[in-house]
Amino acid sequence: MIDLEVPRKFTPLLKQAGALADEVFRPISRKYDLAEHEYPRELDLLSALIDGLSDSGASQGAGASGSAKATSDEEPKGVGSGRNTGSANRNGTNLSSVLSIMQTCRGDVGLTLSIPRQGLGNAAIAAVANDEQKARYGNRWAAMAITEPDTGSDSGAIRTTAVKDGDEYVLNGEKIFVTAGERAELVVVWATLDRALGKQAIKSFVVERSNPGMKLVRLEHKLGIRASDTAAFSLQDCRVPAEDLLGDPEIRIEGGFGGAMQTFDNTRPLVAAMAVGLTRACLDTTTKLLADAGITPDPDRPLASQPQAAARLLQFEAEFQAAYLLALRAAWMADNGKPNSMEASMAKAQAGRTCVEVALGCVELCGATGYAETALLEKWARDSKILDIFEGTQQIQLLVVARRLLGLSSAQLK
């Protein structure tokens, strides 16, 4: 059973991630928010640090590239806190990735998304790729391209096609809102092998960023996470080697999205972790600002007997704890080989909604200080909205949860 204490083996990683947030990200956060699309050169130093942690085994999988789907032939270990409870319990790369991302996003979400070789496409590769593909792609930086102009949140309605031609697939279509699309070395592109079959024919392909068939159309100007580039691509007769199709190349009707859908089971807890980290930053900053004004929440007193600002802060804290625990559970289930699709969507839904509510609420509680650029609260409020949208909107997450609870298919409950 899940142990709610942070495993001791993750302590070095979390200290490093916390220091990164406080000493590197926050001091340059406003700089790269204003200098949209400028690459944060300070992040180049992080590659060596992350590689060093990974080589030493201390990281247990830092960032998105560390997440991986546990398989049934992995032997669960004792709890990471060092105590042997007598029950199988594996605290692995998914949990460590979620915990470390919570820390770095206390500093800046856009900068976290810009860390080299830690893209959401790396999590997709970890979720779906076979061992040979994982070895081949190694430590390369991978973005993920799912969204299209005409599909919105319905990933099953993807129109980008992949047609087999000898030893290659030929991809044609458009992709928008590709996080780190310009900076990444690889792009994991979702495409359909047969539009008539809908979701069952969706597959993901690893495309070299230098592929002449994939052209950068534009970089988006955004409300938030401006330190992270967001690209739009056009795929025109883009030829991809057949061995770069991730997972099973066969269309299996009974499998739904099959391997491609496993990507969301990995990435949604990561996005939930981003939202949890940003929520924590808002709460910590607001708590300090209110304390400076003589308002200190008391969790042992009834809310009605406290100042309204203190009562709201305590309510926000309760919502934060719910999001935090759901994110940990979804990651822990992946580490222990348990199906976590519903829990991943629960975590993403709760964390995304909470982040937006808390960020905007903290701006309000802090008045002029919250709204001005003298503090980071107004920036965090702008950053928060994307965490409720990408990797599936709030509405899509609730739909996934409802289907799992009711035992209905996507065709039965739309």
The model's pLDDT over 355-371, given as tens digits with 9 standing for 90+, comes to 999 999 999 999 999 99
Clarify whether 38 is annotated catalytic: no
In a 13 Å sphere around the CA of 256, the CA atoms on its Cβ side amount to 8
Distance CA 65, CA 266 (A): 10
Sign of CA dihedral 50, 55, 58, 62: positive
Residues of the chain predicted below pLDDT 50? 56-62, 70-86, 256
Domains in the chain, CATH or no CATH each: 8-136 (1.10.540), 142-255 (2.40.110.10), 259-406 (1.20.140.10)
Q: CB-based contacts of 123: which residues, under 8 Å, 6+ apart? A: 64, 65, 67, 97, 144, 263, 266, 267, 270
* Placement of tokens 């997440």 in the chain: 67
- What are the distances in angstroms from CA 37 to CA 64, 223, 375, 381? 21, 13, 22, 20
Distance CA 163, CA 193 (A): 6
CB 117 within 8 A of CB 50: yes
Per-residue pLDDT, 57: 43
Per-residue pLDDT, 145: 95
C-alpha 391, offset from chain centre = 7
Per-residue pLDDT, 126: 87
Per-residue pLDDT, 120: 87
Per-residue pLDDT, 257: 54
Per-residue pLDDT, 48: 64
Per-residue pLDDT, 81: 38
Q: What is the 3-state secondary structure (H, E, C) of 206-235?
A: EEECCCCCEEEEEECCCCCCCCCCEEEEEE
* Placement of tokens 């926050």 in the chain: 26
Among 148, 174, 319, 391, the active-site one is 391
Distance CA 82, CA 10 (A): 11
CB 397 within 8 A of CB 342: no
Per-residue pLDDT, 262: 76
> For residues 352, 145, 29 and 366, what is the CA-based torsion angle, rounded to 10 degrees?
-20
* The Cα angle at residue 397 between residues 144 and 191, in degrees rounded to 5: 35
Distance CA 183, CA 168 (A): 25
Distance CA 130, CA 260 (A): 13
